[in-house]
Amino acid sequence: MNELPERLIPESPEPTLRSRSEGAENWLYRPITCLDHGFVYLVDYMGNDDAIVQAARVSYGKGTKRVSEDRGLIRYLRRHSHTTPFEMVEFKFHCKMPIFVARQWIRHRTASVNEYSGRYSEMSNEFYVPESSVLAKQAKGNRQGRGESLTAEQQKRVLALLKEDYDRSHGHYREFIDDMDFARELARIGLSVANYTEWYWKIDLHNLMHFLRLRMDAHAQYEIRVFADAMARILKDAVPIAFEAFEDYQLNSMQFSGLETKFFETHSWPMKPEAAEKEILEAFKNKRETQEFLEKLKKLNLISSS
């Protein structure tokens, strides 16, 4: 795979009539390093905060509205889940990530994707080696997450085995390619999902914000959170008003179910931890929902310490 230059900006002396975002312009072809070999950078974009307002008002140009009114409109749209004006803004990224991250990522089926092909080109000798600090045991009560850290000795052993496996599998891959002229589409099958891939990923702002809301969450896998955080840095500069509204009404907000709302209305607050857990479980009849609601109550300081 080609190495990304430090920053390569095509010179364009010609003026443009398109909507410009100075924040987005500053991020074009400027890579953000992710994990050990990965990156995210902005290739192109269409639209800015003004474009959201234009779409909502079905008008041309900036119109006669004041900036403060534009901000209020964008915040209203986010607050009330009006999505189509945000779909008028698009971003195209070049991303490089481990294959297992890409397989999580691709589940967001709202983008146009073109991925590096191991059938046409040779796979790299780049594999994700985690930092010791992220090596942990399986979480108790969460089938997807991590729990307490491994011991220092276990971490050292994990890293040694991973590197050993990577060297062996890529050595076999090179033997298939170089010594046997084995078909590339089959030679790759022994490689680990820690092997790096890359793609171009184009998505509209509404669906990008949905992706970020899910993948920046504390419960998302660490490795994909790194890439989501990188894109959020770009978005915060590219569409600052829309991103502020996204932070306020989606990213940093809480949603309450009908059961939770009813429980709020029928109980006194704050509650003691043991009583809250017992009464919520009795009302919800579900341990997972109970624990999730308890987490929300703790964030709101509605569970007393005594």
Query: Which active-site residues does the annotation give?
Result: 215
- 225 CB contacts (<8 Å, ≥6 apart)? 215, 216, 217
Query: In whole angstroms, what is the distance from residue 133 CA to residue 152 CA?
Result: 9
Residue 76 · residue 185 · CB < 8 Å: no
Residue 204 · residue 87 · CB < 8 Å: yes
How far lies 101's CA from each of 29, 105, 106, 163, 195, in Å?
22, 6, 9, 19, 10
Structure tokens at 284: 């919800």
